[in-house]
A and B are shown apart, each in its own frame.
Chain A
Amino acid sequence: MGTLIGLDSLTGPVSSNDMRQALTSSAPLVGLEALSGPVSSDDMRKKLTDGGCSSSSCGSSDTSNDMPAEIWEKVKDHPCYSEEAHHYFARMHVAVAPACNIQCNYCNRKYDCSNESRPGVVSEKLTPEMALRKVMTVASEVPQLSVLGIAGPGDACYDFKKTEETFRLISQKIPDIKLCLSTNGLALPDRVDAIANMNIDHVTLTINMVDPEVGTKIYPWIFYKNKRWTGLDASKILHERQMEGLEMLTARKILCKVNSVMIPGVNDEHLVEVNKVVKQKGAFLHNIMPLISDAAHGTHYGLTGQRGPRAMELKELQDKVSTGTKLMRHCRQCRADAVGLLGEDRNEEFTMAHVPENAEYDPSKREAYREIVAKERGEHVATRKEASATLAESVSETGTSVLVAIATKGGGRINQHFGHAKEFQVYEVSAKGVGFIGHRKVEQYCEGGWGEDATLDGVIAALEGVNVVLCSKVGDCPKDSLAKAGIDVSDTFAHEWIEAGIAAWYQQKYARAEVRVSA
């Protein structure tokens, strides 16, 4: 196993403090690898429970204030449904459902590339039996794994036999794994009962329009009732089926996340209306994602030069609808075979060539990790609340709202080197306190210690509107270049909780100025 997540060297007596230390340290990802010496997961558990915290009673109570307990129970470990969970838990998609029943202008089913990260893309298709072997291997090695999803690469509800069989096989072996699927909705009404029977708590439904006229610019055709439909007829049918499916899910208390692709000039303004409608019909979350468009992808939009939105355009739209249903801003638009925490993809470590013929599931790492996280999370929630309150107060005094970009490897901490960041998590400090609003993908600036100025220009462009970058370490050269572009970079708050680091930086930056003025 690689060095990435490692509980690998959990080989020695270890205290819960050591573990927490390891979580906050700069070890790769959430690295628990500083832990050395022989230890069993039972030992770890015992040590943790001795400390007075059990995973069931601690760690989530504060955040659960935002929603009914039974819903919190469903989302608290799902990285795609809980912003808070996405710092700690990982998902994996298995690409068992390649067949699709509609054509979207942003999708090209012939495309397949291991370097691309976007929905619908996979490198290898799996049979349900292969998927089982792969999931058992990943679940034994990746302690953060909490969710198994089927996101195509076609449509999970249309290619349903394979979806169903995969879930059946895997839930037998790993009963505590959360199951979810995503669909375009056309076949959803026919599958809702089966979904409910399989205890699937989460369904993601892609709804790009609630007006079939708008749909004609997005969907060239659908296949329904043994016929290919085009134009307005196609979009009308799709719209009706999506609404019916959403209502059926709501009636069965299955959480539904609605994904919408923001396509400038096609449905960008219309998505405000979409937000209203899906909220009214009971969607739990609305996730507005930017169109990814490139001629090299061979999609209709790519080939016709349809552009995707800029980061600030996306934020404006998200802000406009944020009074609607809960909004998801941490989506990474991952591939249909992604593995790992959101924002990372370890699929290449787990291609079928790396999966043993007789894979078995060893639950010890996942169990150990959950114990640690339960405690760590409790502290994070408390810190976050406190930092948010402090910042709300400060902003009401200074009147200065800012955007802060964070370099993080996960665990909710400022713990990544500026030059190693492939993306920054952006937080907004406003009179409401501090909150996560999105991420910005960047070209990695530092490769093997050599920074490239050209790449830094890209980083600066990606950080549009951002006032400061907080990271665990940064060199003088990029720091100067960013300063010239009006962006501060600081490594003073390395390894702090993200929200606490932001609060400390804000106090230092603005409260001090105030003191100077008053003195």
Chain B
Amino acid sequence: MAYKIITSQCTVCGACEFECPNVAIAMKGDTYVIDPKKCTECEGHFDVPQCAAVCPVPKTCVPA
């Protein structure tokens, strides 16, 4: 159970990085990557995955 970022669509704005309650998102090379081991899809924190809620590009933060 984890989310992933579709790299080709990502604008690298970084909003997901500081909304993530699990510190699961970090820059790797030129883009942001979600660590599936840390991602909980925000369960226990929020109703919806924060990365998908804040991402400006549709269908970019999606279930892995």
Interface residues of chain A, those whose CB is within 8 Å of chain B, are 98-101, 103, 109-110, 125, 154, 158-159, 161, 223, 226-228
Contact = CB atoms under 8 A, between A and B. Distances in A.
B15 interface: yes
Q: Main secondary structure on chain A at its contact with chain B? A: loop
10 contacts: A98-B13, A99-B14, A99-B54, A100-B13, A223-B54, A226-B19, A226-B46, A226-B50, A227-B46, A227-B53
B9 A228 contact: no
Contact of A227 (B11, B13, B14, B47): B47
Contacts of A101: 15, 54
Given A103-B56, A223-B53, A125 B15 contact: no
Contacts of A161: 18
Contacts of A125: 12
Nearest to A103: B56
B48 interface: yes
Contact of B15 (A100, A226, A227): A100
A158 B18 CA distance: 10
B1 interface: no
A109 B13 contact: yes
Contacts of A98: 11-14
Contacts of B18: 99, 161
Contacts of B14: 98-99, 159
Interface in B3-50: 9, 11-15, 18-19, 46-48, 50
A226 B53 CA distance: 8
Contacts of B47: 226-227
A153 to B, nearest CB: 8
B64 interface: no
Q: Which of A99, A110, A125, A159 has the most CB of B within 10 A?
A: A99
Given A103-B56, A227-B47, A228-B48, A110 B15 contact: no
A22 B15 CA distance: 48
Consensus secondary structure, chain B interface = loop
Nearest to A102: B56
B57 A109 contact: yes
Contacts of B12: 98, 125
A298 B47 CA distance: 31
A229 to B, nearest CB: 10
Contacts, number: 45
A99 B15 CA distance: 5
A99 B12 CA distance: 8
A98 B53 CA distance: 16
Interface of B: 9, 11-15, 18-19, 46-48, 50, 53-54, 56-57
Contacts of A226: 19, 46-47, 50, 53
A109 B19 CA distance: 18
Nearest to A111: B11
A302 to B, nearest CB: 16
Contacts of B13: 98-100, 109, 154
Given A101-B15, A101-B54, A226-B53, 20 more contacts: A98-B11, A98-B12, A99-B13, A99-B15, A103-B56, A109-B56, A110-B9, A110-B57, A154-B13, A154-B15, A159-B14, A161-B18, A223-B53, A226-B46, A226-B47, A226-B50, A227-B46, A227-B53, A228-B53, A228-B54
A95 to B, nearest CB: 11
Nearest to A226: B46
Nearest to B45: A226
Nearest to B21: A226
A125 B14 CA distance: 11
B48 to A, nearest CB: 7
Nearest to A223: B54
Closest 10 CB pairs of A and B: A99-B15, A98-B13, A228-B53, A109-B56, A223-B54, A99-B13, A109-B11, A226-B46, A99-B14, A110-B11
A284 B53 CA distance: 35
A223 B61 CA distance: 15
A223 B55 CA distance: 9
A243 B37 CA distance: 42
A205 to B, nearest CB: 20
Nearest to A99: B15
B26 to A, nearest CB: 15
Contacts of A158: 15
A100 B56 contact: yes
Contacts of A100: 13, 15, 56
B32 to A, nearest CB: 11
Nearest to B42: A226
A159 B12 CA distance: 13
A109 B55 CA distance: 10
A470 B12 CA distance: 46
B7 to A, nearest CB: 13
B44 to A, nearest CB: 13
Contacts of B53: 223, 226-228
B47 to A, nearest CB: 7
B41 to A, nearest CB: 14
Contacts of B11: 98, 109-110
